[in-house]
Amino acid sequence: MSKRSLLTAVALIGVGIVFGVVLMTSFGGNAIENLFAGGSELGAGQPPTPASAAVKALNDQFVAVSSAVTQSVVSIAVKTERKAPSSMPNDFFRFFGPDGGGGDEEFQLPDGGEANGSGVIISRDGYVVTNNHVVEEAKEGGIVVTTNDQKEHKARLVGRDPLTDLAVLKIEGTFMPAHFAQRADIRIGEWVVAVGNPLGLKSTVTTGIVSAMGRGIGIVGTDERTFERNRYAVENFIQTDAAINPGNSGGGLFNLNGSLVGINTAIASRTGVNAGYGFAIPIDMVKSVALDLIDDGKIQRGYIGVEITSVDEASAKAVGLSKVSGVNVNKVVKGGAAESSGLEVGDVILDVDGQPVKTSNDLQNEIVLRRAGDKVTLKIWRDGREISKSVTLRSLDSDRDVATNDSKAGEATTKAADEPVNFKGLGFTANSLTDEQTSSFGTKQGVFISKVDRGGAVARRGLRPGTVILKADGKEVNSPSQLQRILSAKKAGDGVLLVVKESDGTKQAITVEVPES
């Protein structure tokens, strides 16, 4: 190659380099890539709708809360005793997994089996709160707690409370406890995060809102073998739509401050997995029960000594309340705190120590926070006016039968004083008392209920055959015809309060709505 040719080649290479630099500068860093890729560029250059500062702040808060609260939530592995299968339909399914079933499937843990749940650390020295149903079948020494740092700790069972479905464990060490929210500050509609270990997935965080407060769903204290429920069981759940699944039992429900709002306990589901309805025990109940178990290893719970139902429209009409709110006293336990303080069947409890109680769940939640020996002031609605009663709570006498279902209809001949009356619209028949019934019930007042139509109005309200109506609409009843006159004076849709005496001597208040004639 001549010298001239060599110089020409070098010059052309230099021009090429300069031209390439110009191209790179003009078309950006992807120019060559675009040249060889046919000009295709993956992804848009900018997000279509950049988040506002407020949205970014909310997102950052969720991230911060999730990071903080997971430090206080633990996984619990339980070696269990053999548990008999239950065919109970799990519309309300306790998420005790992963071996638990859902829907209509049987739930069975074999000998030596292991079940898993969640818990929340509530003190620096290692107290952990969880659900009673997570640990109630545990073998001695069969509970292991795994903290967020994946360290395993042998746990000691401090105590259990089946009537609230809470239990406390103890592990050794120093830990980060959850911060407790104030029950009064929890609002329907506020954001919450549920944290637990669903389906074996450690430290899972899901979000939702507080959907409702004060829910009772009838699962706490229910025997899965007999389906019978303990009458003293307490439910006052927070409902949430945060996704919760098997394994979440005992995990925490937290607000956006990172404060513990409640302990996750159940979901409403036919499949055993999240269907949008979860339930958590409120923090005030959790704190009260946990303190009792830590201090004494058992619950020193106080009781009023009444059987109650929430006021509904019929009972509000019957006693003259202007709004549907309060708690009916349907029965008063003999020798209990309520009887000693002068509460009567047919009273309506309106508040406890100034705190309004709109439903029976509200009343239970107020009393469960107190111990035997505590005094409470009840505002009572009686005979169309408000009165106050001071009640000293007593411990539960487990041998006392509050209400019996063994009432039997009398078989003796009725007095000739009055003929039986069939109250067709309400669905029952009343007879005059016989001498034998007067003696066995201990009263000359009232009429005997010889028949109650299945599915009738009074049957749906709890009236049973073999009982005696003592009063109707506040008036003493001495014959079937007198009861007929009292009810005939009421208009269709009016409420009527009946005071009923059972064969064991307990009294019950039943409210019915007068039907169309």
CATH class (in words) of the domain with range 73-299: mainly beta
Q: What is the largest CA-CA distance in the chain?
A: 147
The catalytic residue positions are 133, 165, 249
Instruction: Between 180 and 277, name the one with better pLDDT.
Output: 180
Query: Could you tell me how far CA 434 lies from the centroid of its own chain?
Result: 46
Average pLDDT, the chain: 80
Cis ω on the peptide bond leading into residue 420 (within 30° of 0)? no
Is it the case that residue 2 has pLDDT exceeding 90?
Answer: no
Mean pLDDT of 286-296: 92
- Enumerate the domain spans of the chain: 73-299, 306-392, 421-513
CB 137 within 8 A of CB 81: yes
As a whole number of angstroms, the distance between CA 267 and CA 270 comes to 9
Q: Which residues, other chains included, contact 176 with Cβ-Cβ below 8 Å and sequence gap of 6+? A: 71, 72, 121, 124
Topology (CATH) of 306-392:
Pdz3 Domain (2.30.42)
Q: What is the DSSP letter of 335?
A: T
Span 453-458, mean pLDDT? 86
Mean per-residue pLDDT for 165-170? 95
- Cα separation of the two ends of the chain: 124
From 340, 355, 338, 343, select the one nearest 380 (Cα to Cα).
343
Confidence band of 389 (pLDDT split at 50, 70, 90): very high
Topology of domain 421-513 in CATH is: Pdz3 Domain (2.30.42)
So what's the pLDDT on residue 407?
29
DSSP class of residue 173 equals S
Asked whether 283 and 183 are in contact (CB, 8 A), the reply is: yes
pLDDT of residue 401: 30
* Residue 207, H or E segment: strand 204-215
pLDDT above 60 for 252? yes
Q: Kindly report, residue by residue over 402-414, the tens digit of the pLDDT.
A: 222 222 333 333 3
- Gap between the Cα atoms of 344 and 332, Å rounded: 7
User: Is the model's pTM score more than 0.95?
Assistant: no
Q: What is the dihedral of CA 6, 10, 16, 22, to 10 degrees?
A: -160
Residue 82 confidence class, pLDDT cut points 50, 70, 90: low
Two tokens, residue 517 = 């004639």
Q: What CA–CA distances, in Å, run from 210 to 56, 190, 191, 242, 255?
A: 22, 6, 7, 8, 9
| 292 has pLDDT over 60 | yes
Least confident piece of the model among 142-146, 362-366, 512-516: 512-516
| pLDDT tens per residue across span 315-373 | 898 889 999 999 999 889 888 899 999 999 999 999 999 999 998 888 988 888 888 88
* Tokens (6 digits) for 266: 């159940």
8 Å CB contact between 352 and 377: yes
Residues 76, 135: Cα–Cα separation, whole Å: 9
Amino acid at 197: N
> What is the structure's pLDDT at 30?
53
Residue 383 has pLDDT above 50, yes or no: yes
Q: Which two tokens stand for residue 23?
A: 């191209």
Q: Which tens digits make up the pLDDT trace of 405-441?
A: 222 333 333 333 468 888 888 889 999 988 888 888 8
d(CA 112, CA 82): 7
pLDDT of 38 reads 57
Domains 306-392 and 421-513 share a fold: yes
User: Of 158, 238, 125, 248, which Cα lies nearest the Cα of 198?
Assistant: 248
